């Protein structure tokens, strides 16, 4: 649940950055970093799901 909430917050932050950061290079750099954090969240969610299914 934590990682899903974190991912939602990151996606909200992406929208805000896309709307407010005018420097294209800076914006793409920050958005790429957020995308990588979202991928990490996805990996953690998958691992937790696998772990939960193994213990049923």
Predicted confidence (pLDDT) per residue in 17-54, tens digit: 989 999 999 999 999 999 999 999 999 999 999 988 88
pTM of the model: 0.81
> Does the pLDDT value for residue 56 go beyond 80?
no
Structure tokens at 19: 């709307």
Residue 20 has a pLDDT of 93
Residue 22 is classified by DSSP as -
Residue 12 has pLDDT above 90, yes or no: yes
Distance of CA 54 to the CA centre of its chain: 25
Strands (DSSP E) contained in 1-56 are none
Asked if 44 and 3 count as a contact pair (C-beta separation under 8 A), the reply is yes
Residue-wise pLDDT tens digits, 38-48: 999 999 999 99
How far separated are the first and last CA of the chain, in Å rounded? 18
């Amino acid at each position: 649940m934590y990682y899903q909430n974190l991912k939602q917050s990151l996606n909200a932050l992406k929208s805000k950055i896309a709307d407010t950061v005018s420097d294209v290079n800076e914006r793409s750099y920050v958005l790429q970093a957020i995308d990588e954090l979202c991928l990490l969240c996805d990996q953690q969610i998958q691992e937790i799901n696998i772990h939960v299914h193994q213990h049923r």
